């Protein structure tokens, strides 16, 4: 048994992720991904927003039946009709969570909800108390929490914990926060909630300024112990914090985040590719962790360093996140060391230094024209050079 504190991973690929324009998934695709997320080891799977559509209702219902080791969660606004739909869809789940939310920022309360701050607290408390009558695990989210008044937020949170909320989520709904400020904000809010020990604090960061992962990490430092995230960072607009980034940042920088997750990191690349196939959203080649270039080295100096000592240019091992195969890409920036190393792996040796130099020049000419030289191309032009081949 590890003595490390646990970081809860709450995946919302099937709810917030599916809210990306064009990323709609069928019920059967959602069930398939839910099973993959369970194998990945996520603690909570947010399976949908049951009141939003019959498809979402059915997805939560079907996922509730098949998922055994993760907790299944359904989203509901702070309204009894929404909560009733979520409770009904979660009925078949062995471990369920109801997630209810209401906006708490001045701009949302004034212009969207047209409710006073007092009425917002009343609605939040009523929703949590009502839901708690049916389900023990209740998450409350303060929508647009990142732009809310910290002391008002602390007051509201204290009330919803009193009403029975077990997880308190503070979203940066519009991706406006920046790490040092968000971390200080989360710390300030948590420290002003007198019953804070009775709930787990969580954040849910959007990526409008490209800071979702950084803000999530800042919140962990400030005391958050649940992170809401999605595979490939899918989600509304610019997306949510990417699960693979948060998990690998925590795994890689244990000196800063001495926490453990239940994620089987070797499954990250596989699930990323499946989410990409299902949604039709390509993963950019240079996407951290799961992009096809995330561990590929082409620069000669880097390749030489990697071949001498991997950690000169790699902070993680490709195989630890599910990549297999060669990560050194032979291209126009590659040097002699990488070229010779690849040939040795292919069982090709040179009988003379001149032969090697001629082949290296030929390789550079080929590499200059294309995107990378494959093993097959190498074999083809080396057939003509003076080499011996292992049999």
Binding site for ligand KIV (CB under 6 A): 16, 101, 141, 143, 169, 171, 173, 204, 206
Q: Which does 267 bind (CB under 5 to 8 A by kind): Zn ion, ligand KIV, none?
A: none
Nearer to Zn ion among residue 127 and residue 378 (C-beta): 127
On whether the CB atoms of residues 273 and 244 are closer than 8 A, the answer is no
User: Which option in Zn ion, ligand KIV, none does residue 302 bind, with CB closer than 5 to 8 A by kind?
Assistant: none
Nearest distance from C-beta of residue 19 to ligand KIV, angstroms? 8
| Max CA separation in the chain (angstroms) | 84
Measured from the CB of residue 142, what is the shortest distance to ligand KIV in angstroms? 8
- Identity of the residue, 16 or 304, whose beta carbon is nearer to Zn ion in the bound complex: 16
Q: Strands (DSSP E) along the chain, which ranges?
A: 5-6, 8-11, 44-48, 71-77, 96-103, 138-143, 167-172, 200-205, 226-229, 259-260, 348-350, 387-389
The structure tokens 């498809």 sit at: 55
User: Residue 207: which of ligand KIV, Zn ion, none does it interact with, CB under 5 to 8 A by kind?
Assistant: none
* Ramachandran angles phi, psi of 127, nearest 5°: -60, -45
Of all helices (H) and strands (E), which one includes residue 65? helix 54-66
Query: Which residue has its beta carbon closest to Zn ion?
Result: 16
Closest approach, Cβ 112 to ligand KIV, in A, equals 12
The strand pair at 167-172 and 200-205 is best described as: parallel
Closest C-alpha to 10, from 187, 247, 198, 330? 247
The 3-state DSSP class for residue 72 equals strand
Provide, rounded to whole angstroms, the least separation between the CB of residue 172 and Zn ion: 9
Footprint of Zn ion (CB under 5 A) = 16
Report what 101 binds from ligand KIV, Zn ion, none; CB cut-off 5-8 Å by kind: ligand KIV
Residue among 102 and 359 whose Cβ is closer to ligand KIV: 102
Residue nearer to ligand KIV on the CB measure, 59 or 367 = 59
Closest distance of CB 235 from ligand KIV, Å: 8
**3-state helix, strand and coil shares in percent for the chain, rounded to the nearest 5:** 50, 15, 35
For ligand KIV, give the closer residue by CB, 101 or 350.
101
- β-pairing verdict for 5-6 and 259-260: parallel
Element (H, E) at 115: none
Partner touching 279 among Zn ion, ligand KIV, none, CB below 5 to 8 Å by kind: none
Whose structure tokens read 């212009």? 111
User: Which residue lies nearer to ligand KIV by CB, 14 or 378?
Assistant: 14
In angstroms, give the least distance from the CB of 161 to ligand KIV: 17
245 binds, among ligand KIV, Zn ion, none (CB under 5 to 8 A by kind): none
Q: Which does residue 143 bind out of ligand KIV, Zn ion, none, counting CB within 5 to 8 angstroms by kind?
A: ligand KIV
Contact 336, 364 (CB under 8 A): no
Residues 79 and 50: their CA atoms lie apart, in Å, by 13
Give the sign of the dihedral formed by CA 333, CA 339, CA 345, CA 348: positive
Residue 286 DSSP symbol? T
* Distance of closest approach, residue 339 Cβ to ligand KIV, in angstroms: 49
* Closest to Zn ion by CB, 56 or 304: 56
């Amino acid at each position: 048994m590890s003595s490390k504190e646990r970081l809860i991973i709450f995946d919302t690929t099937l709810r917030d992720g599916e809210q990306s324009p064009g990323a709609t998934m069928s019920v059967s695709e959602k069930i398939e991904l839910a099973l993959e997320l369970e194998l990945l080891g996520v603690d909570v799977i947010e399976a949908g927003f049951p009141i939003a559509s019959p498809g979402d209702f059915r997805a939560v219902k079907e996922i509730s039946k098949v998922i055994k080791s993760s907790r299944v969660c359904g989203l509901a606004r702070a309204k009894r009709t929404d909560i009733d739909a979520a409770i009904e869809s979660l009925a078949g789940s062995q471990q369920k969570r109801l997630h209810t939310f209401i906006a708490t920022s001045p701009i949302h309360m004034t212009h969207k909800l047209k409710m006073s701050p007092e009425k917002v607290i009343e609605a939040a408390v009523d929703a949590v108390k009502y839901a708690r009558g049916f389900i023990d695990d209740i998450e409350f989210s303060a929508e647009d929490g990142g732009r809310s008044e910290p002391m008002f937020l602390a007051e509201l949170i204290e009330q919803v914990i009193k009403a029975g909320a077990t997880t308190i989520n503070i979203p940066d709904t519009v991706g406006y926060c920046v790490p040092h400020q968000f971390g200080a904000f989360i710390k300030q809010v948590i420290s002003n909630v007198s019953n804070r020990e009775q709930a787990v604090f969580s954040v849910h960061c959007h990526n409008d300024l490209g800071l979702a992962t950084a803000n999530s990490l800042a919140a962990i430092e400030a005391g958050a112990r649940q992170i809401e995230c999605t595979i490939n960072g899918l989600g509304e607009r610019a997306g949510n914090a990417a699960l693979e980034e948060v998990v690998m940042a925590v795994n890689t920088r244990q000196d800063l985040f001495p926490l453990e997750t239940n994620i089987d990191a070797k499954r990250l690349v596989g699930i990323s590719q499946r989410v990409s196939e299902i949604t039709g959203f390509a993963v950019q080649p240079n996407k951290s962790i799961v992009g096809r270039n995330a561990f590929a080295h082409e620069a000669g100096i880097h390749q030489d360093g990697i071949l001498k000592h991997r950690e000169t240019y790699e902070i993680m091992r490709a195989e630890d996140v599910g990549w297999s195969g060669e990560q050194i890409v032979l291209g126009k920036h590659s040097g002699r060391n990488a070229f010779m190393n690849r040939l040795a792996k292919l069982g090709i040796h040179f009988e003379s230094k001149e032969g090697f130099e001629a082949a290296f020049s030929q390789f550079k000419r080929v590499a200059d024209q294309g995107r990378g030289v494959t093993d097959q191309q190498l074999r083809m032009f080396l057939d003509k050079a003076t080499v011996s081949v292992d049999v």
